[in-house]
Amino acid sequence: MVSRTGPDEEGLRLMALEERASALFSGRVDFLKSAPSLKFLPDPGAPEIAFAGRSNVGKSSLLNAVTGRKSIARASVTPGRTQELNWFEVGDPTVMRLVDMPGYGFAKAPPKVVEAWRKLVRDFLRGRVVLKRTLLLIDARHGVKPVDAEMMTMLDEAAVGYRIVLTKADKVRADELAAVHAATEAVARKHIAAFPGVMITSAEKRTGIAALRAAILEDSEI
pLDDT tens sequence across 32-51 = 999 989 999 999 999 999 99
pTM: 0.92
CATH number of 32-220: 3.40.50.300
The residue extents of the domains of the chain are: 32-220
Give per-residue pLDDT as tens, 90-105: 999 999 999 999 988 8
Q: Do residues 214 and 17 lie in contact, with contact meaning Cβ atoms separated by under 8 Å?
A: yes
- Phi and psi torsions of 169, nearest 5°: -65, -25
Per-residue pLDDT of the chain (222 residues; tens, 9 = 90+): 444 556 799 999 999 999 999 999 999 999 999 998 999 999 999 999 999 999 899 999 999 999 999 888 765 444 444 578 999 999 999 999 999 999 888 666 788 888 888 889 999 999 899 999 999 999 999 999 999 999 999 999 999 999 999 999 999 999 999 999 999 999 999 999 999 899 999 999 999 999 999 999 999 999
DSSP notation for 142-182: T-S-HHHHHHHHHHHHHT--EEEEEE-GGGS-HHHHHHHHH
